[in-house]
Structure 1
Amino acid sequence: MPDVSTDDRRSQSPQSVTRVIRILEALCDSPDAISLADLSRLLGSPKSSVASLLRGLAEAGFVTPNEGTWRLGPGAFGLGSALTAARRRLQSSDLIREGMHRLAERSGETALFAVADSDGETLTYVDVVESRSTVRFAVAAGDRRPLYCTAGGRALLAALPEVELASYLARVKLTRLTAGTEITKRGLVAAIEAVRATGVAQTIDQAADGVTGTAAAIRDASGAVIGALVVAAPSARLQNSRKALVDLVRAEAEATSRSLGYRPPAP
């Protein structure tokens, strides 16, 4: 039996596949070439393991060494073109619906996808995956709601440029839909700022009594917000799990955006 080195065994492990992907992502996100030491730090992996993977990637033309640093090679750009073509063939709506199904399954609640309407005042739920629970939030695709009092609406408002947000705040008329509806513009602005800080909007009994909504924006490859991923559920059932739902919606919105090609700016 031929001798297999430690690095060879590592290069054949499932973990090394993840490391290869992370190496390519790191080089793709960086405007400059990256040193072996920096790649090792970013991956949390030993230099010897990363170096072995880099050698294999270099042989395939996916990376290129450059005076002690590494950058993407021509093979990576060819792969990128192929992936772009594949992404165009796979409609974004399919990827969004996959995320909705995952979210409905993991949360046990109704998942929705909402888009802003052309009037700049409302949103429309364009897709729904209903909860299997007997008691659940019911909404039909095509239903419209105001932006200011819904979780999806606030997620969309938080993503607006300042000029567009200011224009919306200047013209919107805040109407009380429940006893708890926020109808002061100062309160609405504070809620929008909270969404910008956390990336997630959560409303409790704002648009309808007994309903809690949790939402996060979905972005495409260009970084543009194309809609909001929403979970809607009976408020009474979420008294002890609202924070967990915030984390779940944030994670699924990020995963769905990533599947659409979005890459957040490097910190």
Structure 2
Amino acid sequence: MTKSGHRGGSNHAVRVFRVQRAFTELEGQVHGPGELAEATGLDDSTVHRILQSGIHDGMFVREGRGLYRLGPGAARLGLKSLSHAPNTEVAHGVLEELREATDGGLVFLFALAPFGGARKQCLDMAVGDSDLAELGISRRALLTVFQSLRTGAGGRAILAHLPEVIQEAVLAEPPPVEAGPGVFRDKGTLLASLKAVREQGMAVESEECAAGWNGLAVPIRWDGLIMGSLAVLTPKDGVPHWPSRVLRAFELAAEAFSEAGGHGAWSSETTSSF
């Protein structure tokens, strides 16, 4: 291959990636070549050729006349990236350190669930001897049931950083019947809380998940993409405010998860003492 030929191939790959990325940045799920061309700075014919070639690989799917969406090929890439998850033993150690930093709070690691709509899924927890009955849920249920993103700091820390079209779908859902008395029921109030999460870098809850429990959560990102959150719940009377040492511990833990996930590696050197 000539030097110029190699350069042309690289340019083509960049154009393909730009089209794929445009699907994740534009509102809505289906788009036409013209809209994608405007978003990527490419001409319509180039975008059309990329879409057509991607159909054969399952990267794109044609939806009606002149409209396309991301296909199962894109989903396979995403799931493959998730397979490079942090070492679970080391990751659990981070949760245990967070539990110690919160003086025995209930600490949870949530991920954005890949199926069943926009939901959160608990991947791991550090809760000591608690059976979670005081929260009205069992350990087994927490680890196997996908939960609404509109309830609790752990959900809103994720929801605040999702595209507007996904936020609207979640906000259209009614609050779960098992939610606590502090759950946001008004759409405007919930939207304001999401703005506060983005501005403050964390979500704070008061009896959203269960009566008598307050919480704190921070988002986890991989290369800027929201992937999940770290959350803690403590008895309402136990923490009148969140001390700076707790906020710093959560900040460091989130950074560790984000750096390890984004780089596809995790070792004992990744973590630090909180």
- Range into which the TM-score falls when normalised by the shorter chain: 0.5 to 0.7
Q: CA contact under 8 A between 1:136 and 1:234: conserved in structure 2?
A: no
Query: Which residue number corresponds to residue 111 of structure 1?
Result: 107
Query: Which residue number corresponds to residue 195 of structure 1?
Result: 197
Query: Which residue number corresponds to residue 5 of structure 1?
Result: none
What is the Cα-based RMSD across aligned positions, in Å? 3.0
Residue 215 of structure 1 is aligned with which of 214, 217, 222?
A: 217
Matches of 1:116 and 1:201, distance apart in 2: 16
Residue 104 of structure 1 aligns with an amino acid whose one-letter code is R
Per the TM alignment, residue 248 of structure 1 is displaced from its structure 2 partner at its CA by 3.1
- Does residue 154 of the first structure (1) align with residue 151 of the second (2)? no
Query: Which residue number corresponds to residue 231 of structure 1?
Result: 232
Per the TM alignment, residue 261 of structure 1 is displaced from its structure 2 partner at its CA by 4.0
Q: CA contact under 8 A between 1:95 and 1:259: conserved in structure 2?
A: no
Greater Cα shift, 152-161 or 88-97:
88-97
CA distance 1:180–1:164, shift in 2 (3 Å): closer
- Deviation per residue, 1:83-125 (Å, 9 max, x gap): xxxxx98844444323212211222212111123322353222
Q: Where does structure 1 lack aligned partners over 5 or more consecutive residues?
A: 1-87, 263-267
Matches of 2:146 and 2:243, distance apart in 1: 24
Q: CA contact under 8 A between 2:148 and 2:176: conserved in structure 1?
A: no
Equivalence map 1:94-109=2 (5 Å): 94-108=89-103, 109=105
CA distance 1:243–1:90, shift in 2 (3 Å): closer
Q: Identity of counterpart residues, as a percentage?
A: 25
Per the TM alignment, residue 212 of structure 1 is displaced from its structure 2 partner at its CA by 1.3
Per the TM alignment, residue 184 of structure 1 is displaced from its structure 2 partner at its CA by 0.3
Q: CA contact under 8 A between 2:213 and 2:233: conserved in structure 1?
A: yes
Q: Where does structure 2 lack aligned partners over 5 or more consecutive residues?
A: 1-82, 264-274
Query: Which residue number corresponds to residue 124 of structure 1?
Result: 121
Q: CA contact under 8 A between 2:153 and 2:216: conserved in structure 1?
A: yes
Residue 125 of structure 1 aligns with an amino acid whose one-letter code is C
CA distance 1:150–1:125, shift in 2 (3 Å): same
- Deviation per residue, 1:119-166 (Å, 9 max, x gap): 235322221111468999665133543211211110110120223223
- The structure with the larger Rg is 1
Matches of 1:134 and 1:175, distance apart in 2: 21
TM-score (norm 2): 0.54
Matches of 2:129 and 2:101, distance apart in 1: 12
Residue 92 of structure 2 aligns with an amino acid whose one-letter code is R
Matches of 1:189 and 1:174, distance apart in 2: 14
Matches of 1:199 and 1:174, distance apart in 2: 24
CA distance 1:148–1:105, shift in 2 (3 Å): same
Matches of 1:233 and 1:112, distance apart in 2: 12
Per the TM alignment, residue 225 of structure 1 is displaced from its structure 2 partner at its CA by 2.3
**What secondary structure sits across from 1:258 in the alignment?**
helix
TM-score (norm 1): 0.55
**What secondary structure sits across from 1:238 in the alignment?**
coil
**What secondary structure sits across from 1:214 in the alignment?**
strand
- Does residue 164 of the first structure (1) align with residue 166 of the second (2)? yes
Residue 179 of structure 1 is aligned with which of 178, 181, 185?
A: 181
- Does residue 251 of the first structure (1) align with residue 252 of the second (2)? yes
**Aligned residues between the structures:** 173
Q: CA contact under 8 A between 1:200 and 1:250: conserved in structure 2?
A: no
Per the TM alignment, residue 214 of structure 1 is displaced from its structure 2 partner at its CA by 1.0
CA distance 1:247–1:175, shift in 2 (3 Å): same
